[in-house]
Structure 1
Amino acid sequence: MKRRVVSYPTIAKASIISLLLIMIGWILWQIWGFDGNDQAVEVSATEQFSGYSGPLYKAVLPSEEAFQTMAENNQLKLTADRSTGHFQIIDKLTGDIWRSYPNPEHWQKETATGTWKNHLLSPILIEYVNASNYKSASVTAGLVENGGYLEEFQLKGDGFKVTFAFPKAQFKIPIEVTLHEDYVETKLMDDGIIEGELSLLNVKLYPLFGAEPSQGQEGYIMLPDGSGSLIHFDQNRIMPQLTYNESVYGPDQSYYSENTNRQRIAMPVFGMKSGEQAFLAIVSEGEYYANIYAAPGGSVGSSNWVTTEWQYRKRFFQSVSRSTGEGFYTYSGEAFEAASRSARYYPLTGDKSNYAGMAEKYRDYLMSEKGIEPLQTAAGQDIPLFLDIVGADAEKGLLFDSYLKVTTTDEATKLVNDIHALGISNMQVQYSGWQQEGYSSHGDYFPVDRRIGGNSGMRSFIEFAHSLNIPVYLTANYTRNTDGNGGFWWRRDGLRNLAGTVLEEQERGEEQKIRFVSPEYYEKEVYSDLADFKELGADGIYFENGIGEQVNTDFNTRYMADRSEVVEIQKNIFKQTKETLGSVIGSNSNFYLLDQSDHVHLLSSDYSYDVFVSESIPFAQIVLHGLRSYTLEWSNTRDEWQSGFLQNMEYGAYPSYILSGTNAENTRQSYSLWQYSLKYDNWTEHINSEYQKLNEALKEVQNRFITGHRTLASGVKETVYEGGYRILVNYNDKPYDSQDVYIPAQDFIVEKSGDSI
């Protein structure tokens, strides 16, 4: 290759040309603020706010006359006030109005004062912190206190968009509000958010939407707490300062989360009823980084309100010494990334303005937008009985764990045959504790432990069950590892928090250490085992207490996955399992798995018992009935037998038992089964009695939607199905006797369409 020789004249020409290009670029930058490649030059946060001389946000309610129509359709009208950014939804048929700000009729009686009174007028509330100083406290701000203003309010055909500016904190947050056929959607535009030196922690967008005070009307906040719960409006609330704030899909263990012992949020929804109108909100996009925040009347102002709190950063514990455990709490650096953060508000009126109407709207959403198809049940088919059979468990020994054989595959065959002989032909079996070392052992699942029958014994049992048309699912939990088998090495493959620590938990005190597995690792493990499940003839996998229930960010550098990616991993696992084996189910799963899951096992039927919560409701069950089968807790582990049975009846749930062969006494000192009464021949009479009663009541309505649910009197509940079919339950020790109906104490009655009681 010839070496190029550059003469001095050539260098001089190149220098002159370069100098001219630099001068042209400098002139263009001075004029337009662009470089030579037409790319916007980064402008500091301070410069973003300099030069603004327009009006600042004022601490006043928006004028009702200032609202202009932004969009409308046959059902709804969206109006907005350009000076405040607030909006209204108007039902064109009834004239009902839902406001994004406090009801002007009651504002003069507002009890909040000072800063918080101003916050209640703001269309947006933010919380931020100086993340460079771990001792810095977070600050909550609205537009008023921050010298804020609105920027670039624009119509967009189906709504409007605007940017909220916080000059003191140096944040700009663009949002959109759009009208759709039967809802209005509010959206945060993450790609347009501007931050200065401070770090954004969370945002509440239009937090006072639909807010109403307690006085003068009946109403409640509906929370997705467990199966669902209500906070009734109450002017004389005990401990009024308390609020509710929980993560959608449960806390992220890779960050700090206060141990509240609350039920996990499995549904990204909330709602409120006030008088004769209500709304349902669905967190439709970005829900992995959303909390549900509720403020009962008197806690934060006199109004009752509930909203989405969008998370951008969270606290975590930064350890500085492994030996002493010393460290400090600080915040994550980069903000959580979401493609979009959207909440939909569905206005409800008339006989739909209650929690049953909210559940119906959410069910419609799942069918129309998530592809959930209704159940197809043959007419007259008996309801299914769900049996969890436990193979074995382990007991802590002096030097080594002891293996406790509970149900061999031969005993499982006899168990199923004996129950089938009772006349119960429609059953489904989940076989747990079949893996090496039993129920409490997680890691290398195959082969089936030879002490309960091995692969050949399990294969024979499944073939027998299939001869009776009974499907068999094998229970597994891939999110934990206890034995290190299967190639798992906790230092390499463990789930790590933001501080780099492998997450673990103790079972039964300090007796057993369980390490959490990186989601990408357990995804590979499931896929590699699917052929073994198929070879045994399993109809599917029952993923218990892990996949579908826990969404933890993984900071293991080999597998890095944020919450949204973990959800996608879990969806893919369910999808691949169903495609390979034919079916898949989960325990109390988050609702993002409904499109693949064929059954929800042990669905939550309770709430968290916060002092401000009035009652538990079967919101999840109203949503699911007719879409997916579900069970509540195992019947033979109930604290109160009859009340639990009546709840199954009220909630439209199928019966479920956890059973074993004749060796159940051995489990009293086991890691996981010590609290259960498992021996199946002690339960056959109860199983038959409960099943026959539930089958008689629920057989006819298996594929019907629940259309109504209400409290008739204290301890008396009514569940209504399509076609007017009613089940009425009396939990009280005395009969319920009204002009229309008589229900014996601790009992139920069924009223079919056209019947008279």
Structure 2
Amino acid sequence: MNMRLKKVIATLLLCSLLSLPTAGCSTFSSPVYYTMLDEDTIKSFTSLETAIRLTANDLGLEKMEIIAEDKDAILYFNPKTTEIALKRKASGQVWYSNPQDRPGSSDSLLNTQFIVTTLNGRDVAKQWNTFDDSVAFGQFTAQRLDNGINVNYLMGKVLAETLYPVGMTEARFTELSAQMASDKDRNYLKRMYGRVDLTTIESLQQREDLKKTFAKLDTELGGVMYVLKSMLSKLEQKNLTTALQNAGYAFEIRQADEAGVGYTGGADTQENFVFSVTYKLENGTLAVDVDPTKILATDKLKISQITVLRNFGAQKPGREGYLFVPDGSGAIISAQNARATVWADYNRKVYGQDYGVLRTDRVDYSEQTYLPVYGAYHDQGGFIGVAEQGDGQMSVLAGIAGTDSAYSYVCSDFTLLSFALVALESSSKNALNLYPRQAVDDPISLRYLFCDSAGTSYDDLADLYRDYLLANGQLDGINDRQGLTVAVNAIGTIDEIKSVMGYPAQIVKELTSLDEVIELGQLLKEAAPAADRVVQYAGWQKGGFQTGYIRSPQTERKLGSNQDLSDLSASLQDLGVSLLPVVEPQYCYDAGWMQGFSPLNHAIRFITRDTGYKPEHNIANFYLDDKGLKPYIIRPDLVAENMTQFMQKYSSMNISGISLGSLASEVYSDFRAQNVLSVNDTIHYFRSAVEAGNSGNNLVGGYGANVYVLSGLDYALGLPVTSSNHPIISRSVPFLQMVLSGSVSYTMPALNQTENATQYFLKAIETGSGVYFDYFADAGSAIMKTRYDYLYGAARSSIWPIATELAAQTSSALQAVANHRITSHEQLAPGIFRTVYDNGWTVTVNYNSANWQDIPAMGYAAVQQEG
């Protein structure tokens, strides 16, 4: 077994020695995540005895109050249900937070605005919703704001405080009996309470339960006391209360009686929490804010997830409508028909896996989600929901109407508390939850933007989101590079294990020399003279792929020196080729002390507080691959600091650009006990790293395009052009490409991974994507029996003929529209797609095996519109 994996397991098994915050270990003090919810705050909320039942008379716009209005929209609030509605003035379209024809539905979640998942002190998960657990009992308050409203929810039915004690000592029972006002009341008291003597109880479980409930029973009371009978009826509760009131019994006396027997229930059994949401109307948009720092909770209750406005814009079957999710390139889900088969709802984490939360297995290899946005549309308009804050903790959820719900929905969910489930041999339980020292308390901010036009489609939503990013400085709307991007990921060196004097040693092996990169640039110029040619150079640093702690540029000596790398960039620039050497400052493979790297000080921590590494999973069984238990993951604050230091020296080398590799697509948390950093914090530091990479007007590339790097990204390489194969997805759409077009140059996934070159070419034509492929100059046999044998298809002899042909064809076909903005995309017929650009060109692609109109089978047509 890999030594680092052994260390992880040892850490988990010895969690008690490390004083990890665990549930089920009574000797440990659990961290307090939220301000304690006190009795006075609970009592400040009204609480109805019986839950309300909604009827059609409670719903509709006429039952709502106008709480804000501007030139574009009106915001409404229902004071009975706390639901909201926004009416667009231009179209008259009303967007409701909840369906208005829901009374009578068996799906109670249609009534709610928020769903909250909690874990109590026994690690029991519970899902709460704002209607059933708050609004139905009137346990909320609403406060008007200048342009909106703030709603506070007390979650959990407030149990009426009872006058009668759960138990009392034998002496107190005798005394209370004598104080009863009548024989009738005295007899009733004796019927309601029974004498308990531990020596007469045969059941071990019953004795243990009594001793646990009444801490003094087995110690100070000699095993004898009086206990209230279980399951009192409402009539018995009323009669007992009356009898005690007649004797002058008070709540203070009850508390003293229960304290006398060490009663451990009471307030601990009551689970409640308070959270608030703010709705604001801002320039025709709806802003929704939740501040986790204002959550109040009873003891040991932990809030793990909050689902926001689950039913906003929910659609009922019978009309043409779609949900949009940002899966891969983007995907739409038809809401027109109810599902006949029970499928799992869609749930995808934005920005992909949090590597700070170690997963011992992997569910699938779905496409990355790069954008914190989702939406829906139908024949009367559409909307998008954009996460402005908290996006690092965000997932997108969607479901379609079926036997369990009459509506299709799409919404967002935010994780506030992650945990590690670990097995402990020394525990009576099979597994325990391990929690971080802090929960995520970053603000959650969503903004809903609206399309008013009839016939709205996903391309209108893409326009809306792109305009939003432009207005907020996350895209610049400028792409003055000439020609379609043709990018090559040239692999300079790799590492391999060789026998040196009879001992295995890791050595560096050259695959593509600096001179061979110049030759590659010359060949690219000849093959695609009209293209924007880019060489991304991987494995150029000391150690090859297995780089050390990155704080300064160090060219691998088998390739040459830093000056040689500078000369290479100059030679490529003379050929019209940009050089982007790859650095990944968030990872460290070589942890030798001479590198200045200390795993203890410089690497992140998992929730288990073990040193964090980037896991690899076996593609066959999805379990952790022992050989993949590296590299170390660098603390996010050090990533920004090291990148700034790196660029100070790198900028003097006068290289045309830099590639930040997977920094553009991979994120993580850091669960160090002293300073827990959420993914939101990591995003902040990664933005700083990208800004450092952009210093000196360098061209910046990366694998992928998480939205937080877009403002500093010139090339987004290897973007997906399809979505995942989730069963409720109807089809993929090029939403991501539409958003980036005109601002960031983007390419297809690596050509080496495709099985059909014609399909690859047509998809590039449809989406306006550049060509991208892995490459090394050596023979394919050079990587056999190494950990890089998956790159066999990148050998020059294998990839070059087809790559140059596709590069030439694609750059020529898209020369007129390269780097222009996509304004429209639609499916004209099965297998027929049309893309329209802002310069008047239209590109239509035919994926079918038969001609369609004047477009040949498996072909395309590019036409410039007149005027």
TM over 0.5: yes
1:164 aligns with 2:153: yes
> Which of 460-469 and 552-561 deviates more?
552-561
Q: Which amino acid aligns with 2:324?
A: M
What is the rounded CA distance, in whole Å, between the counterparts of 1:510 and 1:162 in structure 2? 50
Q: Of the two structures, which has the highest relative contact order with CA contacts closer than 8 Å and spacing of 6 or more?
A: 2
Instruction: State the TM-score, normalizing by the size of structure 1.
Output: 0.85
Partner residue of 1:151 out of 114, 120, 140: 140
Over 3 Å counting, the alpha-carbon distance change for 1:51 and 1:329 in structure 2 is closer
1:97 aligns with 2:213: no
Partner of 1:35: none
1:63 aligns with 2:63: no
Partner of 2:6: none
Partner of 1:424: 529
Partner of 2:304: 201
1:279 aligns with 2:269: no
Could you list the per-position Cα deviations for residues 135-166 of structure 1 after superposition, in whole angstroms to 9, with x for gaps in the alignment? x2333334324554353323222122221221
1:138 aligns with 2:126: yes
Instruction: Name the SS for the 2:71 alignment partner.
Output: coil
Partner residue of 1:415 out of 497, 520, 526: 520
1:220 aligns with 2:210: no
1:754 aligns with 2:866: yes
Partner of 2:224: none
Partner residue of 1:482 out of 574, 589, 608: 589
Contact 2:527 2:808 in 1 (8 A): no
Q: Which amino acid aligns with 1:166?
A: M
Alignment of 1:551-590 (within 5 A): 551-556=667-672, 560-580=676-696, 582-590=698-706
What is the rounded CA distance, in whole Å, between the counterparts of 2:770 and 2:758 in structure 1? 15
Runs of 4+ in 1 over 6 A off after TM superposition: none
What is the rounded CA distance, in whole Å, between the counterparts of 1:502 and 1:657 in structure 2? 34
1:400 aligns with 2:540: no
Over 3 Å counting, the alpha-carbon distance change for 1:433 and 1:205 in structure 2 is closer
How far has the Cα of 1:384 moved from its partner?
3.2
> Which of 709-718 and 354-363 deviates more?
709-718
What is the rounded CA distance, in whole Å, between the counterparts of 1:208 and 1:119 in structure 2? 8
Q: Which amino acid aligns with 2:731?
A: E
How far has the Cα of 1:701 moved from its partner?
2.3
Partner of 2:79: 82
Partner of 1:17: none
Partner residue of 1:525 out of 634, 639, 642: 642
How far has the Cα of 1:366 moved from its partner?
0.5
1:447 aligns with 2:554: yes
What is the rounded CA distance, in whole Å, between the counterparts of 2:832 and 2:97 in structure 1? 36
Could you list the per-position Cα deviations for residues 162-184 of structure 1 after superposition, in whole angstroms to 9, with x for gaps in the alignment? 21221434222221111122311
Partner of 2:259: none
Instruction: State the TM-score, normalizing by the size of structure 2.
Output: 0.75
Could you list the per-position Cα deviations for residues 613-648 of structure 1 after superposition, in whole angstroms to 9, with x for gaps in the alignment? 111111100111011111121224322111011111
Instruction: Name the SS for the 2:720 alignment partner.
Output: coil
Over 3 Å counting, the alpha-carbon distance change for 1:200 and 1:666 in structure 2 is same
Equivalent pairs counted in the alignment come to 694
Contact 2:310 2:411 in 1 (8 A): yes
Instruction: Name the SS for the 1:212 alignment partner.
Output: coil
Q: Which amino acid aligns with 1:539?
A: S
What is the rounded CA distance, in whole Å, between the counterparts of 1:447 and 1:559 in structure 2? 31
Q: Which amino acid aligns with 1:47?
A: D
Q: Which amino acid aligns with 1:617?
A: V
> Which of 525-534 and 720-729 deviates more?
525-534
Instruction: Name the SS for the 1:128 alignment partner.
Output: strand
Partner of 1:124: 114
How far has the Cα of 1:259 moved from its partner?
3.1
Contact 2:538 2:581 in 1 (8 A): yes
Could you list the per-position Cα deviations for residues 228-257 of structure 1 after superposition, in whole angstroms to 9, with x for gaps in the alignment? 111112535364341122222223233366
Partner of 1:288: 392
What is the rounded CA distance, in whole Å, between the counterparts of 1:679 and 1:290 in structure 2? 40
Q: Which amino acid aligns with 1:544?
A: G
> Which of 619-628 and 653-662 deviates more?
653-662
1:613 aligns with 2:729: yes
Partner of 2:468: 365
Contact 1:202 1:311 in 2 (8 A): yes
Could you list the per-position Cα deviations for residues 331-368 of structure 1 after superposition, in whole angstroms to 9, with x for gaps in the alignment? 44643111x31111122232562111111111001110
What is the rounded CA distance, in whole Å, between the counterparts of 2:639 and 2:291 in structure 1? 33
How far has the Cα of 1:681 moved from its partner?
5.8
> Which of 615-624 and 554-563 deviates more?
554-563
Partner of 1:390: 491
Partner of 1:433: 539
What is the rounded CA distance, in whole Å, between the counterparts of 1:319 and 1:275 in structure 2? 52
Could you list the per-position Cα deviations for residues 500-540 of structure 1 after superposition, in whole angstroms to 9, with x for gaps in the alignment? 01233358744454122222333343333324433433223
Partner of 1:23: none
Contact 1:473 1:542 in 2 (8 A): yes
Could you list the per-position Cα deviations for residues 285-306 of structure 1 after superposition, in whole angstroms to 9, with x for gaps in the alignment? 2222222121221275120011
Over 3 Å counting, the alpha-carbon distance change for 1:238 and 1:646 in structure 2 is farther
Could you list the per-position Cα deviations for residues 72-96 of structure 1 after superposition, in whole angstroms to 9, with x for gaps in the alignment? 2222111221121111111223221
Could you list the per-position Cα deviations for residues 105-161 of structure 1 after superposition, in whole angstroms to 9, with x for gaps in the alignment? xx3674xx3xxx33321222222120x223x23333343245543533232221222
Partner of 1:39: none
Partner of 1:49: 42
How far has the Cα of 1:573 moved from its partner?
0.8
Q: Which has the larger radius of gyration?
A: 2
Partner of 1:457: 564
Structure 1: gaps of 5 or more residues: 1-41
Contact 1:189 1:341 in 2 (8 A): yes
Instruction: Name the SS for the 1:669 alignment partner.
Output: coil
Over 3 Å counting, the alpha-carbon distance change for 1:44 and 1:276 in structure 2 is closer
Partner of 1:22: none
Over 3 Å counting, the alpha-carbon distance change for 1:556 and 1:203 in structure 2 is closer
What is the rounded CA distance, in whole Å, between the counterparts of 1:680 and 1:304 in structure 2? 49
What is the rounded CA distance, in whole Å, between the counterparts of 2:528 and 2:128 in structure 1? 63
Partner of 1:34: none
What is the rounded CA distance, in whole Å, between the counterparts of 1:43 and 1:436 in structure 2? 53
Q: Which amino acid aligns with 2:509?
A: L
Could you list the per-position Cα deviations for residues 515-574 of structure 1 after superposition, in whole angstroms to 9, with x for gaps in the alignment? 2222233334333332443343322321112x2322211123577532222111111111
How far has the Cα of 1:279 moved from its partner?
1.2
Structure 2: gaps of 5 or more residues: 1-34, 158-270, 619-624
1:625 aligns with 2:724: no
Contact 2:746 2:770 in 1 (8 A): yes
How far has the Cα of 1:98 moved from its partner?
0.9
Q: Which amino acid aligns with 2:127?
A: V
Partner of 1:675: 791
Contact 1:317 1:499 in 2 (8 A): no
Over 3 Å counting, the alpha-carbon distance change for 1:352 and 1:513 in structure 2 is same
Over 3 Å counting, the alpha-carbon distance change for 1:584 and 1:59 in structure 2 is farther
Could you list the per-position Cα deviations for residues 452-471 of structure 1 after superposition, in whole angstroms to 9, with x for gaps in the alignment? 23334323222211222422
> Which of 726-735 and 530-539 deviates more?
530-539
Output the aligned Cα RMSD. 2.8
Alignment of 1:642-657 (within 5 A): 642-657=758-773
Partner of 1:8: none
Partner of 1:265: 369
1:493 aligns with 2:594: no
Could you list the per-position Cα deviations for residues 722-746 of structure 1 after superposition, in whole angstroms to 9, with x for gaps in the alignment? 2542111112222223xxxx22111
Contact 1:201 1:312 in 2 (8 A): yes
Q: Which amino acid aligns with 1:137?
A: A
What is the rounded CA distance, in whole Å, between the counterparts of 2:862 and 2:284 in structure 1? 35
What is the rounded CA distance, in whole Å, between the counterparts of 2:445 and 2:558 in structure 1? 53
Partner residue of 2:579 out of 472, 491, 494: 472
How far has the Cα of 1:397 moved from its partner?
4.2
What is the rounded CA distance, in whole Å, between the counterparts of 1:372 and 1:89 in structure 2? 28
Instruction: Name the SS for the 2:448 alignment partner.
Output: strand
What is the rounded CA distance, in whole Å, between the counterparts of 2:638 and 2:742 in structure 1? 35
Contact 1:393 1:439 in 2 (8 A): yes
Instruction: Name the SS for the 1:213 alignment partner.
Output: coil
> Which of 268-277 and 677-686 deviates more?
677-686
Contact 2:846 2:860 in 1 (8 A): yes
Contact 1:406 1:664 in 2 (8 A): no
